[in-house]
Amino acid sequence: GTSLRAALREHARLPPPRARAIVRGVAAAVEDAHQRGLVHRDLKPDNIFLVTGGGASETPKVLDFGIAKSFASDADRGAAHQTRADVRLGTPEYMAPEQMRGDEPHPAWDLWALGVVAFEMLTGEVPFARNPAWVPVGFDTVEVSAAMETAPPRWRSFFRRALAIEPSDRPRSARELADDFDRAIDGVDDVWGT
Protein backbone atom coordinates (compact mmCIF):
# COMPACT_ATOMS: atom_id res chain seq x y z
CA GLY A 1 0.00 0.00 0.00
CA THR A 2 0.86 3.66 0.13
CA SER A 3 -0.12 6.77 2.02
CA LEU A 4 -2.88 9.00 0.71
CA ARG A 5 -0.24 11.76 0.59
CA ALA A 6 1.86 9.67 -1.83
CA ALA A 7 -1.24 8.96 -3.95
CA LEU A 8 -2.00 12.68 -4.11
CA ARG A 9 1.59 13.46 -5.08
CA GLU A 10 1.31 10.96 -7.90
CA HIS A 11 -2.14 11.93 -9.18
CA ALA A 12 -2.74 15.47 -7.80
CA ARG A 13 -6.49 14.75 -7.56
CA LEU A 14 -8.45 11.56 -7.21
CA PRO A 15 -11.55 10.59 -9.18
CA PRO A 16 -14.72 11.08 -7.11
CA PRO A 17 -15.50 7.32 -6.87
CA ARG A 18 -12.06 6.65 -5.35
CA ALA A 19 -12.38 9.66 -3.02
CA ARG A 20 -15.79 8.33 -1.95
CA ALA A 21 -14.34 4.95 -0.98
CA ILE A 22 -11.52 6.58 0.97
CA VAL A 23 -13.84 8.98 2.82
CA ARG A 24 -16.19 6.10 3.64
CA GLY A 25 -13.34 3.96 5.06
CA VAL A 26 -11.73 6.79 7.02
CA ALA A 27 -15.11 7.87 8.38
CA ALA A 28 -15.71 4.32 9.69
CA ALA A 29 -12.36 4.38 11.53
CA VAL A 30 -12.97 7.87 12.91
CA GLU A 31 -16.50 6.91 13.99
CA ASP A 32 -15.07 3.92 15.88
CA ALA A 33 -12.48 6.13 17.61
CA HIS A 34 -15.17 8.64 18.57
CA GLN A 35 -17.37 5.88 20.01
CA ARG A 36 -14.39 4.91 22.15
CA GLY A 37 -14.07 8.51 23.35
CA LEU A 38 -11.00 9.47 21.28
CA VAL A 39 -10.33 12.41 18.97
CA HIS A 40 -7.48 11.75 16.51
CA ARG A 41 -6.44 15.45 16.32
CA ASP A 42 -4.10 15.01 13.32
CA LEU A 43 -6.15 13.48 10.54
CA LYS A 44 -4.42 14.23 7.21
CA PRO A 45 -3.31 12.39 4.05
CA ASP A 46 0.01 11.46 5.67
CA ASN A 47 -1.87 9.51 8.37
CA ILE A 48 -4.16 7.65 5.97
CA PHE A 49 -2.64 4.52 4.51
CA LEU A 50 -4.23 2.87 1.48
CA VAL A 51 -3.77 -0.89 1.85
CA THR A 52 -4.05 -2.82 -1.37
CA GLY A 53 -5.32 -6.37 -1.24
CA GLY A 54 -4.93 -9.18 -3.73
CA GLY A 55 -7.34 -7.49 -6.13
CA ALA A 56 -7.67 -3.94 -7.32
CA SER A 57 -9.43 -2.73 -4.17
CA GLU A 58 -7.83 -0.60 -1.49
CA THR A 59 -8.75 -0.19 2.13
CA PRO A 60 -7.95 3.06 3.93
CA LYS A 61 -6.43 2.73 7.40
CA VAL A 62 -6.08 5.62 9.83
CA LEU A 63 -2.61 5.71 11.40
CA ASP A 64 -0.76 7.68 14.05
CA PHE A 65 -3.03 8.10 17.03
CA GLY A 66 0.04 9.47 18.84
CA ILE A 67 -1.62 12.75 19.79
CA ALA A 68 -5.16 11.39 20.10
CA LYS A 69 -6.99 12.80 23.09
CA SER A 70 -9.83 11.47 25.15
CA PHE A 71 -12.99 13.50 25.37
CA ALA A 72 -14.91 10.80 27.25
CA SER A 73 -14.68 11.93 30.87
CA ASP A 74 -13.21 14.48 33.22
CA ALA A 75 -11.00 11.75 34.73
CA ASP A 76 -9.52 10.98 31.31
CA ARG A 77 -8.97 14.66 30.58
CA GLY A 78 -7.07 15.07 33.84
CA ALA A 79 -4.72 12.15 33.27
CA ALA A 80 -1.11 13.23 33.70
CA HIS A 81 0.13 11.38 30.60
CA GLN A 82 -2.12 13.31 28.23
CA THR A 83 -1.59 16.74 26.74
CA ARG A 84 -3.46 19.73 28.12
CA ALA A 85 -6.56 20.87 26.23
CA ASP A 86 -5.05 24.25 25.38
CA VAL A 87 -1.96 22.75 23.73
CA ARG A 88 -2.24 23.08 19.97
CA LEU A 89 -1.04 19.86 18.39
CA GLY A 90 -1.75 18.83 14.83
CA THR A 91 -1.13 20.08 11.33
CA PRO A 92 -2.50 23.62 10.88
CA GLU A 93 -3.93 23.10 7.38
CA TYR A 94 -6.22 20.39 8.79
CA MET A 95 -7.07 21.92 12.17
CA ALA A 96 -10.57 23.16 12.97
CA PRO A 97 -10.88 26.78 14.16
CA GLU A 98 -11.71 25.69 17.72
CA GLN A 99 -8.73 23.32 17.72
CA MET A 100 -6.50 26.24 16.69
CA ARG A 101 -7.90 28.22 19.62
CA GLY A 102 -6.99 25.41 22.03
CA ASP A 103 -10.56 24.53 23.03
CA GLU A 104 -11.45 21.22 24.67
CA PRO A 105 -11.09 18.25 22.27
CA HIS A 106 -14.23 17.36 20.37
CA PRO A 107 -15.11 14.90 17.59
CA ALA A 108 -15.99 17.87 15.36
CA TRP A 109 -12.23 18.48 15.00
CA ASP A 110 -11.81 15.21 13.13
CA LEU A 111 -14.88 15.92 10.99
CA TRP A 112 -13.36 19.24 9.92
CA ALA A 113 -10.07 17.50 9.09
CA LEU A 114 -11.87 14.82 7.07
CA GLY A 115 -13.67 17.59 5.17
CA VAL A 116 -10.29 19.15 4.35
CA VAL A 117 -8.94 15.75 3.23
CA ALA A 118 -12.00 15.22 1.00
CA PHE A 119 -11.51 18.68 -0.50
CA GLU A 120 -7.86 17.95 -1.17
CA MET A 121 -8.63 14.62 -2.83
CA LEU A 122 -11.10 16.26 -5.22
CA THR A 123 -9.20 19.49 -5.99
CA GLY A 124 -5.53 18.72 -5.37
CA GLU A 125 -5.14 21.46 -2.76
CA VAL A 126 -6.28 22.33 0.74
CA PRO A 127 -9.28 24.65 0.89
CA PHE A 128 -7.61 27.57 2.61
CA ALA A 129 -4.39 27.64 0.59
CA ARG A 130 -4.94 31.34 -0.13
CA ASN A 131 -5.03 32.13 3.58
CA PRO A 132 -1.31 32.53 4.33
CA ALA A 133 -1.73 32.51 8.08
CA TRP A 134 -3.32 29.04 7.91
CA VAL A 135 -6.08 30.20 10.18
CA PRO A 136 -9.24 28.51 8.94
CA VAL A 137 -12.20 30.79 9.39
CA GLY A 138 -14.89 28.94 7.47
CA PHE A 139 -15.72 28.08 3.90
CA ASP A 140 -17.79 31.21 3.22
CA THR A 141 -15.55 33.77 4.90
CA VAL A 142 -12.26 33.39 3.04
CA GLU A 143 -11.25 32.92 -0.53
CA VAL A 144 -11.08 29.17 -1.05
CA SER A 145 -9.55 27.14 -3.83
CA ALA A 146 -10.32 28.37 -7.34
CA ALA A 147 -11.32 24.79 -8.18
CA MET A 148 -14.50 25.23 -6.17
CA GLU A 149 -15.63 28.04 -8.47
CA THR A 150 -16.30 25.48 -11.21
CA ALA A 151 -17.24 22.54 -9.01
CA PRO A 152 -20.79 21.16 -8.93
CA PRO A 153 -23.08 23.09 -6.55
CA ARG A 154 -23.60 19.94 -4.42
CA TRP A 155 -19.86 19.91 -3.72
CA ARG A 156 -19.89 23.51 -2.56
CA SER A 157 -22.88 22.75 -0.34
CA PHE A 158 -21.11 19.75 1.21
CA PHE A 159 -17.93 21.70 1.94
CA ARG A 160 -19.87 24.67 3.29
CA ARG A 161 -21.31 22.33 5.93
CA ALA A 162 -18.20 20.19 6.56
CA LEU A 163 -16.05 23.32 6.98
CA ALA A 164 -18.54 25.40 8.95
CA ILE A 165 -16.98 27.64 11.58
CA GLU A 166 -19.39 26.48 14.28
CA PRO A 167 -18.92 22.81 15.17
CA SER A 168 -22.69 22.49 15.67
CA ASP A 169 -23.20 23.38 11.99
CA ARG A 170 -21.02 20.47 10.82
CA PRO A 171 -22.28 16.91 10.40
CA ARG A 172 -23.01 15.27 13.75
CA SER A 173 -20.86 12.21 13.12
CA ALA A 174 -18.28 10.78 10.76
CA ARG A 175 -20.94 8.48 9.35
CA GLU A 176 -23.17 11.46 8.59
CA LEU A 177 -20.26 13.26 6.93
CA ALA A 178 -19.60 10.22 4.72
CA ASP A 179 -23.30 10.00 3.80
CA ASP A 180 -23.32 13.71 2.92
CA PHE A 181 -20.19 13.23 0.80
CA ASP A 182 -21.82 10.30 -1.03
CA ARG A 183 -24.79 12.49 -1.92
CA ALA A 184 -22.54 15.37 -2.98
CA ILE A 185 -20.55 13.34 -5.46
CA ASP A 186 -23.29 10.90 -6.53
CA GLY A 187 -23.19 10.49 -10.30
CA VAL A 188 -19.98 12.53 -10.70
CA ASP A 189 -17.19 10.41 -12.13
CA ASP A 190 -14.89 13.19 -13.27
CA VAL A 191 -14.90 16.99 -13.16
CA TRP A 192 -11.42 18.14 -14.10
CA GLY A 193 -10.08 15.19 -16.04
CA THR A 194 -8.63 13.30 -13.07
Which residues participate in catalysis according to the annotation? 42
Residue 98 near residue 164, CB atoms below 8 Å: no
Long-range CB pairs of 145-151 (<8 Å, 24+ gap) are 145/119, 147/122, 147/123, 147/192, 148/123, 150/191, 150/192, 151/122, 151/123, 151/191
Q: What is the DSSP letter of 125?
A: S
- Give which of 34, 66, 68, 11 is closest to 193, Cα–Cα: 11
